[in-house]
Copies of this chain bind each other. A is one copy, B any other.
């Protein structure tokens, strides 16, 4: 079993399990999804990240005790991932580092698509000299904006501009793109390699768990 930690508080079980369900469906893994308490708006600045870190550590520690073989922090900023790696014995995977590492494995210059003003530091650092640029769709400031046709159209246009800057792969720096299935839209419309954070974290989790004896 792998544990998937969401860094937003969900009341709705279906929303809570969205990332875990993608991973379960794609890789055939047994997944438990949990979320941090009392942060309905998730992490959106340094203060809310500081607030979330001990909650993520609590959840991950409990998941390890309950027999999780790997823990996934399903957020492109990899919150609490460095802290957890010093504490747990099992693999700890973050959506941001996982996506950037897949792009590095393929060796493709990467454009990063997010919804915030800047790329998450972990994504930029991990890509190193493969980092081509960062962009966010105009007028998209939260994941709900991505649910509109206009939001998705803008995401395609923004991706096109990253490809024109020399990117050969697009790395998602927001897991909201995973839940709307943007990767397949971009692959179909633009024919580029897209690295989706939830797919990437699942890929590493699958390798860690499925190849175990």
Contacts and interface: CB of A to CB of B under 8 A. Distances in A.
Nearest to A185: B213
A202 to B, nearest CB: 10
Interface string A97-141: 110011011111000000000000000000000000000000000
Given A184-B213, A187-B212, A193-B208, A106 B89 contact: no
B106 A208 contact: yes
- As for how many copies of this chain the complex holds, the number is 2
A65 interface: no
A194 B168 contact: no
Nearest to A194: B211
A187 B94 CA distance: 24
Given A207-B203, A211-B187, A213-B188, A107 B92 contact: yes
Most buried by B among A93, A106, A169, A207: A106
A91 B213 CA distance: 30
A204 interface: yes
A5 B102 CA distance: 20
A97 B106 contact: no
Given A91-B108, A98-B105, 10 more contacts: A70-B106, A91-B169, A92-B106, A93-B105, A93-B107, A106-B204, A183-B211, A191-B213, A195-B207, A199-B207
Interface of A: 70, 81, 84-85, 89, 91-94, 97-98, 101-102, 104-108, 168-169, 183-184, 187-188, 191, 193-196, 199-200, 203-204, 207-208, 211-213
